[in-house]
Structure formats: structure tokens, C-alpha cells
């Protein structure tokens, strides 16, 4: 039971990170119906941005307050990654609206290959470790053999995720931008006729998705303490699985899917085999797509001519 509780906490932490990445997939899919294959690599890139700013702030500027460093890095990483998201949409995707069906996906694969190799070229191929900033843990429960703990890192990850999701939910549900975005999701042409700047809304969607990926990248870096140029692919596919499982296009679905995937992966590693944990995630993806492509919270898709 204690073991289960500990794994549950670990799974929720991992799931929060997946959920944040999955939001980027699901929003972009919702609005232009495209699988943004490069999203996982944007996430990896943001991890590198966060890593470098951590180093600048701690070793060059000598800041010691962990909370301050974390906040500065969070904001800077979100801004710079958002700029990447904007530039990618502008260069690689915008011109392809109205092109043939698979063009955006192929372009996104190109961006994905470019990004991971770009980081490899400019930062080198080796793993980049970050010394842990906080090691403290909160002991939740203790008996003779086992201790269930929640580390400050994990608490921070969950709190940051929850806070950002609340802010994000407010943005999408309660602001003019969110209304424009939902309108574009439903009918892009009609939205344009009603005076919504569709291109700008789509751009902003990519920017938001990238900013959320940056949060995930920062949290991932804090949690694992290491990042490498190839770290975008597998978390990216898992987050996509989460988005599909939750119902692609649905925002709460993405978070729910992320949590489920995180839990499944953690329990699978804990109780079955750690070698096949990625196989488990890929199998879930295949099974969900075959049997329930609309996911848990998604609407069934209507094929239009």
C-alpha cells in the first residue's frame, strides 16, 4: 500500500508534465486539425533554455534564492520558447494552410528533425546534468519499513502545473482571445467573416502551446536533473498519446490523459518491467486510436467532404 501511494505520487508528477505538453498538441489540433509533430522538440529546446538560464543565474550572477531563480527562469523560458513557437508557425506551417492533407505533418516532421539536430550541433550530443536545487522532502507517512514522501520538487511541479492550468483555463474560457480561439476551432471561415483575425489567433495558439511546453521543459529538467538533445521525441509521443487518450481537441481531456499516462507508465515500471514502459505507452496509443479515436472526453469526428 505504501509502495502504491509512493508510486501514485510519482505518477501524478510525471503526468503533470505530460499534461502540460499534451495541451500544446490538443490546442493546435483543435484549431487547425494538425498533429504538431515538432512540439516534443520544442519542449526539449525549452529545457535547454531553462538549463542555460539556471546556470547564468546561479553560477554567474550568484543568486541564491531558489524561488526567485525558479520564477525568473520560468518567465524567461516561457517567453523565449513562445518566440520559437511563433517563428516555427510562421515559417513552417502558415504557408501550408490549404495545401494538401499531409503537407503540415511532413513539414512538422522536418521541423522536429531540424530542432533536435540544431540543439545537437549548438550544444553538443552529451547529456547535460543540472545539480539539484532542492533536496528536501515532506514525509507524508512512515512506518517501520517504508516511508511515503513528497519531495519539494514534486510538490512544486504539481503546484506550478495546477496554477498554470487555472490561469490557462481562465484565458481560454473567459477572455476575448479565448472566445476567438474557440470560434476558430468551430468554424474558421465563419470566424473570419465575423471579424476575428484567424491568422493571429492561430499564431497565439502556437505561442501558448510553446509557453506551456516551456513550463513542462523546466519542470522536466528540475525533476530529472538531466537533459539531452534527443529527449524531445519520447515525451512528445507520450504527450500526444495523452492528448489522444483524453480526446484530442479537449483541454481538460489533455490534462486527464496526461495524468493517466503518467500513472500507467509509473505503475507499469514499478510492477511489471521498466524496459517495456515505452512499449506500454505506444500500445495505449495504438489501442486508443483503433478502438476509441475520439478519446475519453472528445467529440466524435464527423468526416466532411
Partner 1 sequence: MANTSTLGPIAPAMTRPTGTAFPALLKDAALFALVTLGLSIPVVAYRTDLGQGTGLELTARWGLVASLCLAVFVLRLAQRLILGEVSRRRDARIRARADASAVAAPKALRPGRALGSLTLAVALTLPALAALGSGGLSEGRYWIDLGILILTYVMLGWGLNIVVGLAGLLDLGYVAFYAVGAYSYALLSTVFGLSFWICLPLAGLFAAAFGILLGFPVLRLRGDYLAIVTLAFGEIIRLVLINWVDFSGGSAGISSIPRASFFGIPFTKGEGGFADLFGLSFSPMHRVIFLYYLILVLALITNVVTLRMRRLPLGRAWEALREDEIACRSLGIDTTITKLTAFALGAMFAGFAGSFFAVRQGFVSPESFNFLESAIILAIVVLGGMGSQIGVVIAAIVMVGAPELLRNLGFLKAVFGQGFDPSEYRLLLFGLAMVAMMVWRPRGLISERHPSVRLSEAKR
In angstroms, what is the minimal distance from the CB of 17 to partner 1?
20
**In the range 231-270, which residues lie near partner 1 by CB under 8 A?**
233, 237, 240, 244
Residues 84, 70: Cα–Cα separation, whole Å: 21
Q: Which stretch binds partner 1 (CB under 8 A): 122-130, 143-151, 162-170, 186-194?
A: 122-130
Q: Any bridge partners for residue 137, and if so which?
A: 151
In angstroms, what is the minimal distance from the CB of 33 to partner 1?
8
Pick one of 7, 8, 35, 171: the residue that binds partner 1 (CB under 8 A).
35
Q: Report the SS3 class of residue 294.
A: coil
Residue closer to partner 1, measured from CB, 129 or 167: 129
In angstroms, what is the minimal distance from the CB of 289 to partner 1?
5
Alpha-carbon distances of 62 from 55, 68, 132, 141, rounded to whole Å: 9, 12, 16, 36
Binding mask of the shown chain, residues 185 to 224, with x at each position contacting partner 1 by CB under 8 A: --------------x-------------------------
Pick one of 3, 65, 71, 99: the residue that binds partner 1 (CB under 8 A).
99
Pick one of 12, 34, 215, 216: the residue that binds partner 1 (CB under 8 A).
34
Is residue 13 near partner 1 by the rule CB under 8 A? Answer: no
Residues 229, 13: Cα–Cα separation, whole Å: 22
Q: Any bridge partners for residue 150, and if so which?
A: 138
**In the range 135-194, which residues lie near partner 1 by CB under 8 A?**
none
**In the range 36-95, which residues lie near partner 1 by CB under 8 A?**
45, 48-49, 51-53, 55-56, 59-60, 80, 83-84, 87, 90-92, 94-95
Total residues interacting with partner 1, rule: CB under 8 A: 71
Residue closer to partner 1, measured from CB, 159 or 283: 283
User: What is the tally of helices (H) and strands (E) in the chain?
Assistant: 11, 4
**In the range 273-302, which residues lie near partner 1 by CB under 8 A?**
275-276, 278-279, 282-283, 285-286, 289-290, 293, 301
Pick one of 5, 8, 72, 114: the residue that binds partner 1 (CB under 8 A).
114
Going by C-alpha positions, the residue among 289, 304, 302 that lies closest to residue 247 is 289
Going by C-alpha positions, the residue among 109, 80, 123, 125 that lies closest to residue 233 is 109
First to last CA, the chain: 53
Assess contact for 274 and 56: CB atoms under 8 A. Answer: no
Q: What is the secondary structure of 158-194 as a DSSP string? A: HHHHHHHHHHHHHHHHHSHHHHHHHHHHH-HHHHHHT
Going by C-alpha positions, the residue among 218, 242, 255 that lies closest to residue 46 is 218
Q: Which stretch binds partner 1 (CB under 8 A): 14-22, 109-117, 154-162, 178-186?
A: 109-117
Residue closer to partner 1, measured from CB, 289 or 296: 289
Q: Which stretch binds partner 1 (CB under 8 A): 10-18, 108-116, 150-158, 163-171?
A: 108-116
Which phi and psi (to 5°) does residue 141 adopt?
Answer: -160, 140
Amino acid at each position: 500500500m505504501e509502495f502504491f501511494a509512493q508510486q501514485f505520487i510519482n505518477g501524478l508528477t510525471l503526468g503533470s508534465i505530460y499534461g502540460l505538453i499534451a495541451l500544446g498538441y490538443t490546442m493546435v489540433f483543435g484549431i487547425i486539425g494538425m498533429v504538431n509533430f515538432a512540439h516534443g522538440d520544442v519542449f526539449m529546446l525549452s529545457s535547454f533554455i531553462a538549463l542555460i538560464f539556471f546556470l547564468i543565474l546561479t553560477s554567474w550572477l550568484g543568486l541564491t534564492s531558489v524561488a526567485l531563480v525558479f520564477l525568473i527562469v520560468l518567465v524567461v523560458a516561457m517567453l523565449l520558447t513562445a518566440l520559437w513557437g511563433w517563428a516555427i508557425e510562421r515559417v513552417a506551417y502558415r504557408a501550408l494552410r490549404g495545401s494538401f492533407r499531409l503537407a503540415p505533418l511532413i513539414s512538422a516532421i522536418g521541423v522536429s528533425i531540424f530542432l533536435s539536430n540544431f540543439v545537437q550541433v549548438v550544444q553538443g550530443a552529451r547529456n547535460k546534468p543540472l545539480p539539484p536545487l532542492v533536496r528536501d522532502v515532506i514525509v507524508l507517512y512512515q512506518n517501520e519499513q517504508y516511508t511515503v514522501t513528497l519531495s519539494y520538487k514534486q510538490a512544486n511541479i504539481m503546484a506550478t502545473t495546477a496554477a498554470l492550468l487555472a490561469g490557462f483555463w481562465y484565458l481560454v474560457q473567459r477572455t476575448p482571445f479565448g472566445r476567438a480561439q474557440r470560434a476558430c476551432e468551430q468554424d474558421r471561415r465563419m470566424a473570419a467573416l465575423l471579424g476575428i483575425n484567424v491568422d493571429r489567433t492561430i499564431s497565439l495558439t502556437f505561442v501558448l502551446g510553446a509557453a506551456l511546453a516551456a513550463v513542462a521543459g523546466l519542470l522536466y529538467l528540475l525533476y530529472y536533473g538531466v537533459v539531452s538533445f534527443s529527449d524531445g521525441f519520447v515525451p512528445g509521443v507520450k504527450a500526444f498519446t495523452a492528448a489522444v487518450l483524453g480526446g484530442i481537441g479537449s483541454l481538460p481531456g489533455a490534462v486527464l490523459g496526461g495524468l493517466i499516462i503518467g500513472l500507467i507508465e509509473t505503475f507499469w515500471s514499478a510492477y511489471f518491467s521498466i524496459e517495456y514502459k515505452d512499449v506500454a505507452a505506444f500500445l495505449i496509443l495504438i489501442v486508443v486510436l483503433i478502438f476509441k479515436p475520439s478519446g475519453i472526453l472528445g467529440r466524435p469526428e464527423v468526416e466532411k467532404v
